[in-house]
Amino acid sequence: MNDMSRHFDVDTIRRQFPILDQKVHGKDLVFLDSAASAQKPRAVIDAMVHAMETQYANVHRGLHWMSERTTDAYEAARDAVQGLLNAADRSEIVFTGNSTAAINLLAHSYGRAILRPGQAVLISAMEHHANIVPWQMLRDATGIELRVADITDAGELDFADFEARLADGRVGLVAITHMSNVLGTYTPVERIVRTAHAHGARVMLDGSQAVVHRTVDVQALDCDFYVFTGHKLYGPTGIGVLYGKRELLDAMPPFMGGGDMIASVSFERSTWAPVPHKFEAGTPAIIEGIGLKAAVDWVRGIGFDAIAAHEATLTEHALARLANVEGVSVVGRAQDRGGVVSFTLDQAHAHDVATLLDRQGIAVRAGQHCAEPLMRRLGLDSTARASFGIYTTTQEIDFLADTLVRVSEFFK
Amino acid sequence: MNDMSRHFDVDTIRRQFPILDQKVHGKDLVFLDSAASAQKPRAVIDAMVHAMETQYANVHRGLHWMSERTTDAYEAARDAVQGLLNAADRSEIVFTGNSTAAINLLAHSYGRAILRPGQAVLISAMEHHANIVPWQMLRDATGIELRVADITDAGELDFADFEARLADGRVGLVAITHMSNVLGTYTPVERIVRTAHAHGARVMLDGSQAVVHRTVDVQALDCDFYVFTGHKLYGPTGIGVLYGKRELLDAMPPFMGGGDMIASVSFERSTWAPVPHKFEAGTPAIIEGIGLKAAVDWVRGIGFDAIAAHEATLTEHALARLANVEGVSVVGRAQDRGGVVSFTLDQAHAHDVATLLDRQGIAVRAGQHCAEPLMRRLGLDSTARASFGIYTTTQEIDFLADTLVRVSEFFK
Amino acid sequence: MFDDVRDLYQDVILKHGRRPEHMRRLASFDATAKGDNPMCGDRVQVWVKYGADDTIAETGFEARGCAISIAAGDLMTEAVQGLNRGEVGRLFADFGDMVRTGTCPDCMGLERLKPLSGVHEYPSRVKCATLPWHALIAALDDKQEASSE
Amino acid sequence: MFDDVRDLYQDVILKHGRRPEHMRRLASFDATAKGDNPMCGDRVQVWVKYGADDTIAETGFEARGCAISIAAGDLMTEAVQGLNRGEVGRLFADFGDMVRTGTCPDCMGLERLKPLSGVHEYPSRVKCATLPWHALIAALDDKQEASSE
Ligand SMILES: Cc1ncc(COP(=O)(O)O)c(C=O)c1O
Ligand SMILES: Cc1ncc(COP(=O)(O)O)c(C=O)c1O
């Protein structure tokens, strides 16, 4: 046991998640679906309740006490996210509804106003639909090309292919995942950014998965944009984040129009508020921002070193245990990988596996995981996926492996 | 006292709003800013907490118990909203982030794909920025014309002007508020819809304010689209609604792309899920949906007849009391009006008024209320605005009026 | 360990799911259509050959999917033998009721399909059981693809 | 009733807010700029006439806004008399500190502006006090409009 994990007591952590006491079909809940959405610690629930019970009003526009205090609490979420990502300036943090909305904002605003016909957007073969469809819609509306960098059979970015697709200098934006939600693969983001910049392309990283598991430093990475979603980071639904370098955000036109994003409005012509407000039309997700701040503070209080160490232990353990279950094949064997393990079972379809596991209280996901092109690339119809959170224990993984043995017997 | 208000006990109501026990600057909170955002009853807070503590997972994609139950709870919100608006089908209810996002969705999807250059969008002079800027952005991007129907000096829609602007048959969409957030004016929506349809125009009603105060029946109104926002209806932030007639929604392309809104994805071509999912990209505001259902159920439990009667009493009382405060001028005197009262004070600017009221615990809004063109039309720089909710009492209004007398003395 | 899923995975289902008897492409056929459940990755194709009076003489299917969808496809091919379009439609309606509610008191001709009634306790699996039916109906209606639900 | 707002609305402020002495458009001027706080509807315009050495000889302003912004404008015109661009910039920086924090221990020349220090307890009103300054700085920098904060 290393230094980190000595300080990290998973039982103490688990007690902060009320839902983990629930029974499912009379069994203890074994929640192995955190990559889809994480459970919420007491700190997040309490922060939201506290806002609604004691300190709530609309923000930004009020001169009264409740509005000022609520504005402070909501804007403190921006500071918290700035700290989380180590952004240079708080105005570089734009709140959206989720990762998907953040990528769509970028595709609409940067895509239509800054990218030019003849330029291309480069994604990878292991993207989530959220980082495919917006670019496809951009392509179909504007004629901007969409390129796809291949992956290796091990489930890593094929870097030679990636670089080759940048070679002609026509790629304006690389939009690529920081961690695959299916394979658990981390992409080599430093190298991606360096290479893309050398070819004149900007880089957006989809951090929906990665930000939950490791320290992200957007300045050290030098990425141009970074997106993530609150609900996977133990925070509320309904809130996501687009980070962008200030000068890029400044140059971008707004995406949605309405209150809060304007400087002045006349029927002839309106002018826009400075960033980040230019991109935040209408009443924001106030209570969710307050909840997200609580989540960020809580996660940082535990520390990404401890989290990463815990999750590395879990992942190693899971890979070792699953390797010993007859008929189980783990999908993807990237060197640098996080706590997401997809697998197939020879004897049974992923759905049948998921249903049987569910009856034992084990929640795993089964299907295409919003990554249909990746599935096709891997020659699979579907996989089962176990994904780990801060509250996952090795005992739970043991129970998964033991139960899978029984599942495969059931279908033999 | 009429029949309604006999059943309606405001003290019982108030006890369900924990925040109303708060002190502000040592004084009892008198929250007269509900038109900006309403406070949350225990039922809403509890529903959100219950979800996060006992029944939470990502929706739509899971085969496990937690995901199925959460999906049921989230989709029940759609049924609740269908009931609230009396929509013909649950698939006509699209969830968005707020009203602003709903109008932007419409402007992007209907505006760019269904409206044609040469056609026009007709709004009114008393719209909230949320119902101005998206159409302006559409105009500037596509050349679709933006027309503005004037209002009378009393603050009502100038119906002759409205009709005249429809006369050439080139208006494709009328987008108009159902109730002004500044003047409290209800617009004659039945007549608007009938007249617009007669001239071949579709109609979107901005119900952000109206839906809080009266029964809305989209089938009886025969409006084509209706939008509102959760946080004004005693529900959570981060969730709003676009209602649209099924055949219109079916014909519209998606707005944002990503997970949940697709039928299938390949890099070459993706296909869309049926409505409403086509318009709901990414992980939805799950907890907020569950909270919104609780809000809708709670409000309908009280009943719009009782709510409207209570608010009519409050509004009459406020108009009578304010008329007797020297120097106060109420802005707008529409015949059909709801519980929003804007006013100016001869001796002092609205900001100074708001600050002094705040020190007595009274929360009012001051400024342009996200309706800068309306202010200009009225020849005003700003107003103070008191707006009433289900929990507002006549005593609170008396306190406002009494305090205003002192404020005007202070600045004399 | 899995006693409580026996309602869903009855032996008949496991048998048909594991070794479907009618999982094959017909060499000669009059109609065919595909069905797709992209959320989960299930895919099915159905082939039909008509006999006299436009009744179904033979049906074959290919599927990539779970035990439920394969068993449902296999049992379907047996159940629709000799029926015409109208009869298939009615049978599917009854079958849909059964997999959604668990029973179908007034339904006839569902005997063979009864083992699938356990699906009703697994709402997210109902689609698996109905996917081959959607494809069959599409084929009978001369469409190439079942419309997604 | 309003004793606790006396820090904000000191008599000096009320007096200057009610009857500003320098609220006028200069007949002849060297520079002018507008400032706008659209969230609340405040508007201000400032006119400047230079004297010797590019110091400010005279300043006038027009404003539609609250007592705070009008008093701030009026007091500003007095405080900047005789200063050059650099000095105005430094004074505004100190003034900004004062209205945000309530004090400015190391600051000089703020005596006249001191009555506005009460603003710091009203964060949303700080903008009202700084708006005329933003417009003045814009005018001195030969811009037509103050950039919004
Ligand atoms: C009439 C009207 N329309 C639209 C809106 C915008 O609502 P939201 O900010 O929740 O999008 C509001 C409230 O701010 C409003 O009063
Ligand atoms: C890698 C990745 N990108 C994007 C998303 C989309 O996140 P959201 O649905 O919150 O927008 C997800 C999660 O679903 C994801 O795993």
CB pair distance less than 8 Å for B351 and D65: yes
Are residues B275 and B365 both part of a single domain?
no
Chain B neighbours, 3+ Cβ pairs < 8 A: A, C, D
Is the distance from the beta carbon of residue B295 to the nearest atom of ligand 1 less than 6 Å? no
Are residues B112 and B229 both part of a single domain?
yes
Inform me whether the pLDDT recorded for C98 exceeds 80: yes
Ligand 2 atom nearest A229 alpha carbon = 10
Q: How confident is the model at residue C7 (pLDDT cuts 50, 70, 90)?
A: confident
Q: Do chains D and B touch (3 or more CB pairs under 8 A)?
A: yes
User: Which residue in chain A has the smallest CA separation from C68?
Assistant: A352
Q: Find the mean pLDDT for residues A46-57.
A: 98
**From the CA of C18, how many Å to the nearest CA of chain A?**
8
* Domain-ending residue, one of A277, A300, A323: A300
- Among A48, A45, A51, A1, which Cα is nearest to A19's? A45
Q: Which entry of A115, A328, A370, A378 is annotated as an active-site residue?
A: A370
The answer to whether the beta carbons of residues B92 and B249 sit under 8 Å apart is yes
Provide the strand spans (E) within A37-107.
93-96
- The structure tokens 């002190």 sit at B23
pLDDT in tens, A98-145: 999 999 999 999 999 999 999 999 999 999 999 999 999 999 999 999
Both tokens assigned to B279: 């318009």
Are residues A296 and A308 both part of a single domain?
no
Is the distance from the beta carbon of residue B283 to the nearest atom of ligand 2 less than 6 Å? yes
Please report, in angstroms and rounded to a whole number, the separation of the first and last CA atoms in chain C.
Answer: 34
Are residues B338 and B190 both part of a single domain?
no
Which backbone phi and psi does A200 adopt, to 5 degrees?
Answer: 80, 15
Q: Is the dihedral of CA A300, A304, A305, A307 positive or negative?
A: positive
**Catalytic: B223?**
no
CB pair distance less than 8 Å for A351 and C65: yes
The answer to whether the beta carbons of residues B239 and B95 sit under 8 Å apart is yes
* Domain-ending residue, one of A276, A300, A324: A300
Q: Is the dihedral of CA B325, B331, B334, B337 positive or negative?
A: negative
Is the distance from the beta carbon of residue A100 to the nearest atom of ligand 2 less than 6 Å? yes
Q: Which of the listed residues B213, B370, B374 should we mutate to test ligand 1's pocket, taking the one with most ligand atoms within 8 A of CB?
A: B370
Ligand 2 atom nearest A178 alpha carbon = 1
**From the CA of B367, how many Å to the nearest CA of chain D?**
4
CA-to-CA distance for D42 and D148, rounded, in angstroms? Answer: 12
Q: What is the DSSP letter of A186?
A: B
- Among A185, A382, C38, A331, which Cα is nearest to B269's? C38
Q: Where are the domains of chain D?
A: 2-143
Q: How confident is the model at residue A1 (pLDDT cuts 50, 70, 90)?
A: very low
Is the distance from the beta carbon of residue B128 to the nearest atom of ligand 1 less than 6 Å? yes
| Secondary-structure breakdown of chain B: helix, strand, coil percentages, each rounded to the nearest 5 | 45, 20, 35
Nearest to D40 among B25, B382, B403 (CB): B382
Distance of CA A89 to the CA centre of its chain: 21
Q: Which entry of B138, B221, B314, B370 is annotated as an active-site residue?
A: B370
Is the distance from the beta carbon of residue A130 to the nearest atom of ligand 2 less than 6 Å? yes
Nearest to C36 among B61, B264, B274 (CB): B264
**Number of structural domains found in chain A:** 2
Candidates C9, C36, C66, partner chain A, best to mutate (most A CBs within 10 A): C66
- Among A172, A261, A253, A180, which Cα is nearest to A213's? A180
pLDDT in tens, A140-193: 999 999 999 999 999 999 999 999 999 999 999 999 999 999 999 999 999 999
**A276 cis-preceded (ω within 30 degrees of 0):** yes
Q: What secondary structure does DSSP assign to A215-262, as a single string?
A: ---HHHHT-SEEEEEGGGGTS-SS-EEEEE-HHHHHHSPPSS-STTSE
Q: What is the DSSP letter of B212?
A: G
Q: What secondary structure does DSSP assign to A253-278, as a single string?
A: PPSS-STTSEEEE-SS-EEEPPTTGG
B49 Cβ contact list (under 8 Å, min separation 6) = A45, A49
For chain A, the average pLDDT equals 96
- Percent of chain D residues topping a pLDDT of 90: 64
CB pair distance less than 8 Å for A281 and B372: no
**Ligand sitting nearest the alpha carbon of A207:** 2
The answer to whether residue B94 is domain-embedded is yes
Inform me whether the pLDDT recorded for D149 exceeds 70: no
- Whether the CB of A314 is below 8 Å from some CB of chain C: the reply is no
Both tokens assigned to A409: 């017997």
Are residues A316 and A242 both part of a single domain?
no
Chain B residues in contact with A358 by the CB 8 A cut-off are: 63-65
Hey, how many other C-beta atoms are within 10 angstroms of the C-beta on D84? Answer: 15
Chain C residues in contact with A349 by the CB 8 A cut-off are: 65-67
- Whether the CB of B177 is below 8 Å from some CB of chain D: the reply is no
Give me Rg for the CA atoms of chain A.
22
Hey, how many other C-beta atoms are within 10 angstroms of the C-beta on A118? Answer: 10
Q: Residue D40: what pLDDT?
A: 64
- Whether the CB of A349 is below 8 Å from some CB of chain C: the reply is yes
The answer to whether the beta carbons of residues A20 and A39 sit under 8 Å apart is yes
**From the CA of D55, how many Å to the nearest CA of chain B?**
33
Q: Do chains C and B touch (3 or more CB pairs under 8 A)?
A: yes
Return the bridge partners of D59, or none. Answer: D48
Are residues A13 and A51 both part of a single domain?
no
Is the distance from the beta carbon of residue B98 to the nearest atom of ligand 1 less than 6 Å? yes
3-state SS assignment for residue B115: coil
Chain C neighbours, 3+ Cβ pairs < 8 A: A, B
Are residues A282 and A309 both part of a single domain?
no
Q: What secondary structure does DSSP assign to D75-125, as a single string?
A: HHHHHTTT--HHHHHHHHHHHHHHHHHS--TT--S-GGGGGGGGGGG-GGG
- Whether the CB of B113 is below 8 Å from some CB of chain C: the reply is no
CA-to-CA distance for A367 and C42, rounded, in angstroms? Answer: 9
Inform me whether the pLDDT recorded for D106 exceeds 80: no
Please report, in angstroms and rounded to a whole number, the separation of the first and last CA atoms in chain B.
Answer: 38
Return the bridge partners of C145, or none. Answer: C34
Is the distance from the beta carbon of residue A208 to the nearest atom of ligand 2 less than 6 Å? yes
Q: Find the mean pLDDT for residues A61-87.
A: 95
Both tokens assigned to B193: 């819809």
Nearest to A355 among C38, C65, C122 (CB): C122
- The structure tokens 């005992």 sit at A395
Q: How confident is the model at residue D87 (pLDDT cuts 50, 70, 90)?
A: very high
- CA B134 to centroid of ligand 2, rounded, Å: 27
Q: Find the mean pLDDT for residues A372-392.
A: 96
* Domain-ending residue, one of A285, A300, A315: A300
Candidates A64, A133, A227, partner chain B, best to mutate (most B CBs within 10 A): A64
Is the distance from the beta carbon of residue B259 to the nearest atom of ligand 2 less than 6 Å? yes
Chain A residues in contact with C67 by the CB 8 A cut-off are: 348-349, 352, 411
User: Which residue in chain B has the smallest CA separation from C37?
Assistant: B263
Q: How confident is the model at residue D39 (pLDDT cuts 50, 70, 90)?
A: low
**b/e map of C33-56 (b: 16 or more CB within 10 Å)?**
bbbbbbbbbbbbbbbbebeeeeeb
Nearest to A263 among D123, D125, D148 (CB): D148
Nearest to B274 among C124, C125, C148 (CB): C148
Q: Which residue, judged by its Cα, is nearest atom 7 of ligand 2?
A: A99
**Which residue range is the domain that position B107 belongs to?**
46-300
Is the distance from the beta carbon of residue B282 to the nearest atom of ligand 2 less than 6 Å? yes
The answer to whether residue A40 is domain-embedded is no
Chain B residues in contact with A98 by the CB 8 A cut-off are: 282-283
Name the B residues in 41-100 with CB < 8 Å from any C CB. Answer: 60-63, 67-68
The answer to whether the beta carbons of residues B11 and B1 sit under 8 Å apart is no
- ipTM value for the complex: 0.94
pLDDT in tens, C114-129: 999 999 988 888 989 9
The top-level CATH class assigned to C2-143 is alpha beta
Inform me whether the pLDDT recorded for D59 exceeds 50: yes
Assign residue A243 the CATH number of its domain: 3.40.640.10
Q: Residue C63: what pLDDT?
A: 92
Assign residue A402 the CATH number of its domain: 3.90.1150.10
CA distances for C108 relative to B291, B371, C87, C101, C126, angstroms = 44, 64, 11, 16, 20
CA-to-CA distance for A254 and A246, rounded, in angstroms? Answer: 14
Residues in C whose CB is inside 8 Å of some CB of B read 36, 38-40, 122-125, 148-149
**Ligand sitting nearest the alpha carbon of A212:** 2
CA-to-CA distance for B110 and A362, rounded, in angstroms? Answer: 43
Q: What secondary structure does DSSP assign to B312-325, as a single string?
A: HHHHHHHHHHHHTS
The answer to whether residue B215 is domain-embedded is yes
CA-to-CA distance for B224 and A98, rounded, in angstroms? Answer: 28
**A41 cis-preceded (ω within 30 degrees of 0):** no
The answer to whether residue B38 is domain-embedded is no
Q: What is the pLDDT along chain B (412 residues), one digit of tens a residue?
A: 344 444 689 999 999 999 999 999 999 999 999 999 999 999 999 999 999 999 999 998 778 999 999 999 999 999 999 999 999 999 999 999 999 999 999 999 999 999 999 999 999 999 999 999 999 999 999 999 999 999 999 999 999 999 999 999 999 999 999 999 999 999 999 999 999 999 999 999 999 999 999 999 999 999 999 999 999 999 999 999 999 999 999 999 999 999 989 988 999 999 999 999 999 999 999 999 999 999 999 999 999 999 999 999 999 999 999 999 999 999 999 999 999 999 999 989 999 999 999 999 999 999 999 999 999 999 998 999 999 999 999 999 999 999 999 999 999 8
Both tokens assigned to D43: 């508007």
Are residues A146 and A245 both part of a single domain?
yes
Are residues A193 and A151 both part of a single domain?
yes
Are residues A50 and A25 both part of a single domain?
no
